[in-house]
Amino acid sequence: MLTTALLLVTLQGAAPAAGADTGAVTAASGVAARGRADDSLPTISLAEAVRRSNHVDPSAVAARGLVGTTAWGRRAALAALVTPTVSVGGDYTSVTPKTFNFAVLPPTTNANAFRALPLSSHTSDANVTATYTAFNGGQNISRLRAARFNEASAAANDDAVRSSSRVATETAYYTVIADQELLRVAEERVRNTLQQLTVSRARVASGAAVETDSLQVVLQLNTAQVALLRQQAATRVDRLALGRRVGLSAPIAAQPVDTLPPPELPFTADQAVSQALQTGPSYIRARAGERAAGAAVAAQTGGFLPTVTLSASRLAYGDQAFANQLYRNQFAIGVSFPILDQGQREYAVAVANASLDSARAVRADLERGARQEVTNAYEAYNTARATAALQQTGVAVAHENLRVETLRYQAGTENILNLLTAQLSLTEAESDLVNARKTARLALATLQALLGKQLVPEEGAP
Inter-helix orientation angle 269-279/416-451, to 10° = 50
Query: In which band, very low, low, confident or very high, does the pLDDT at 405 lie, cut at 50, 70 and 90?
Result: confident
- Structure confidence at residue 117 (pLDDT): 65
- What's the predicted TM-score (pTM) here? 0.76
β-pairing verdict for 119-135 and 43-44? unpaired
Q: How far apart are CA 25 and CA 2, in angstroms?
A: 10
Query: In which band, very low, low, confident or very high, does the pLDDT at 55 lie, cut at 50, 70 and 90?
Result: very high
Using the predicted structure, report yes or no on whether residue 133 has a pLDDT greater than 90: no
Using the predicted structure, report yes or no on whether residue 219 has a pLDDT greater than 90: no
Using the predicted structure, report yes or no on whether residue 12 has a pLDDT greater than 50: no
- Structure confidence at residue 185 (pLDDT): 92
β-pairing verdict for 43-44 and 307-318? unpaired
Q: How far apart are CA 460 and CA 401, in angstroms?
A: 37
Mean pLDDT calculated for residue range 41-45? 88
Query: In which band, very low, low, confident or very high, does the pLDDT at 216 lie, cut at 50, 70 and 90?
Result: confident
Using the predicted structure, report yes or no on whether residue 115 has a pLDDT greater than 70: no
Using the predicted structure, report yes or no on whether residue 7 has a pLDDT greater than 50: no
Q: What is the pLDDT of residues 358-388, one digit of tens each?
A: 999 999 999 999 999 999 999 999 999 899 9
- Structure confidence at residue 228 (pLDDT): 93
To the nearest whole percent, how much of the chain has pLDDT over 90?
30
Q: What is the pLDDT of residues 135-190, one digit of tens each?
A: 877 778 888 888 888 888 889 889 889 989 999 999 999 999 999 999 999 999 89
Mean pLDDT calculated for residue range 390-417? 84
- Structure confidence at residue 182 (pLDDT): 93
Across 225-229, 279-283, 383-387, 410-414, least confident range: 410-414
- Structure confidence at residue 29 (pLDDT): 53
Q: How far apart are CA 8 and CA 10, in angstroms?
A: 5
CA angle 266, 271, 272 (to 5 degrees): 80
Query: In which band, very low, low, confident or very high, does the pLDDT at 460 lie, cut at 50, 70 and 90?
Result: very low
- Structure confidence at residue 107 (pLDDT): 67
Distance from the Cα of residue 285 to its chain's centroid: 16
Using the predicted structure, report yes or no on whether residue 272 has a pLDDT greater than 70: yes
Mean pLDDT taken over the chain: 82
- Structure confidence at residue 350 (pLDDT): 93
Q: What is the pLDDT of residues 28-41, one digit of tens each?
A: 455 555 545 556 78
Q: Which domains does the chain have, with CATH numbers?
A: 2-86+136-305+342-451 (1.20.1600.10)
Burial of 412 (0-12, 13-18, 19+ CB in 10 A): exposed
Nearest C-alpha neighbor of 218 from the set 22, 31, 413, 430: 22
- Structure confidence at residue 111 (pLDDT): 59
